[in-house]
Amino acid sequence: MGRIPKMQDLLAPFAARLKERKEDDRLRCLKTVTPGASAAVFLNGRELVNFASNDYLGLSTHPSLKARAISFTQRWGVGSSASRLVCGNIDAYDTIEKKLAKLKGTEAALVFASGYQANSTVLGTLSGDGSLLALDRLSHNSLLSGAQLSRCRFLRFKHNDLADLEQQLSRPALHKYTSRWVVSESIFSMDGDSADIDALCRLSANSGSGLYLDEAHATGVFGRHGMGLTAGRKEVTVAMGTFGKGLGSFGAYIACSETLRDYLINFCPGLIYSTALPPAVLGAIDAALDIIPSMDRQREYLLDMAEGLRVRLKSCGFDTGNSCSQIIPILVGSDKLALELARHLEAAGIFAPAIRTPTVPANAARVRISLSAHHTKEQIDHLIKTLSNWHEN
Ligand SMILES: Cc1ncc(COP(=O)(O)O)c(C=O)c1O
């Protein structure tokens, strides 16, 4: 037997990669924050206006969600004790999934522990050796992981470019793949732009593909009852949505047919081999689903504020890409500039993170502004003033 490697030999490549990241100004570090009231956050003891959160409607602190989380905890305890298939499937799941299916207009719904878990395991469960997955190039990492884990053939089409998708799907070499899925997001997480859902539905139907859409950032904000752009659309085979962003708490769901739901319960490892959500989280989800349909006023305020901000940023010369949602990227190009801009904002009491490679493509670094219905007009004015100061420097 050869020399047994020492622990430092095993760790050396990790340390080298971290050093490389640091030298490239791309080292990620966890920041400890303390949430404050009305879109505020405390960082190193300093209060900042938070433009980084996905809590688009401010539901994470809503009294009804908190009250139901507490009441579910009092009734069922803090843990679910097992996976849903063993004994973790408390009756709240049934109520929640019925509400979800009704709101989404689908036959059925299935709750998962997180969006990452759903995307990374459902795609592989629905596809196999003879399957083809076609993913938008800017699809979230969880969708990419799902495609990679599935071990089926997958291709990536240019972002929101359905001519490219159509052309790739029609390649003769791919004709043998009869089980096909087109995978995209309804609102993209880092660009805040939207997929053309009508066109995706048409193209999927014409190419005999299932359509899988991630609604993580549309849920709560867009569509019928605020339940995403796929709500009520029968042509969408599978819609994934999350509870951890616009719905204020944690977890995710798949909205689909009864058959697919049964199939996932039987074959999806992310559901079968993972502990069910804790009762407190189910309580918060249950309450959010009751409130969300009645929040049109907050959605209108949020989306009007986003439109107003985009117009003012563009007039100051900022590039906000194709954003049409509450997510507004300020595209600056290099990682260095994005970091500089984030630091400039922080100095003025604004928390908005620099998003760099590998989260976004090279030279597409940005500061991501994420709006909430809790932001005030004064906070937006301060943001614009601070940004225009930076531009003038
Ligand atoms: C588009 C998209 N899909 C899925 C996820 C994962 O969802 P979760 O945070 O519930 O794991 C995220 C999270 O950031 C996301 O942005």
- Tell me how far the alpha carbon of residue 388 lies from the centroid of ligand 1, in angstroms: 31
Domain 30-57+296-392 superfamily per CATH = Aspartate Aminotransferase, domain 1 (3.90.1150.10)
Instruction: Go through the chain and tell me how many residues it has.
Output: 393
pTM for the full model?
Answer: 0.96
pLDDT of residue 387: 96
pLDDT score of 24: 84
| 116 Cα to the center of ligand 1, angstroms | 6
CB of residue 116 inside a 6 A radius of ligand 1: yes
**Domain range list for the chain:** 30-57+296-392, 62-293
Map residue 175 onto helix, strand or coil: coil
Gap between the Cα atoms of 125 and 221, Å rounded: 29
Confidence (pLDDT) at 393: 65
Rounded Cα distance between 378 and 330, Å, is 20
Atom of ligand 1 nearest to the CA of 185: 1
Q: Consecutive 10-residue runs of the chain (393 residues): their mean pLDDT?
A: 79 95 88 89 95 97 98 98 97 98 98 98 92 97 95 95 97 93 98 98 96 98 98 97 98 98 98 98 98 98 98 96 98 93 96 91 94 97 95 69
Report pLDDT for 90: 96
Cβ contacts of 374 within 8 Å, gap of 6 or more: 38, 39, 58
Q: Does the beta carbon of 216 sit less than 6 angstroms from any atom of ligand 1? A: yes
- pLDDT at residue number 68: 98
The pLDDT of residue 1 is 58
Q: CATH second-level architecture of 62-293?
A: 3-Layer(aba) Sandwich (3.40)
Minimal-distance CA residue to ligand 1 atom 5: 115
Q: Which helix (H) or strand (E) holds 147?
A: helix 141-150
State in Å: Cα 391 to ligand 1 middle: 32
Instruction: Give 3-state DSSP helix, strand, coil % of the chain, rounded to 5.
Output: 45, 20, 35
Active-site residue numbers? 54, 140, 185, 189, 214, 217, 245
- The response to whether residue 115 sits with its C-beta less than 6 Å from ligand 1 reads yes
Here the tokens at position 250 are 């944690």
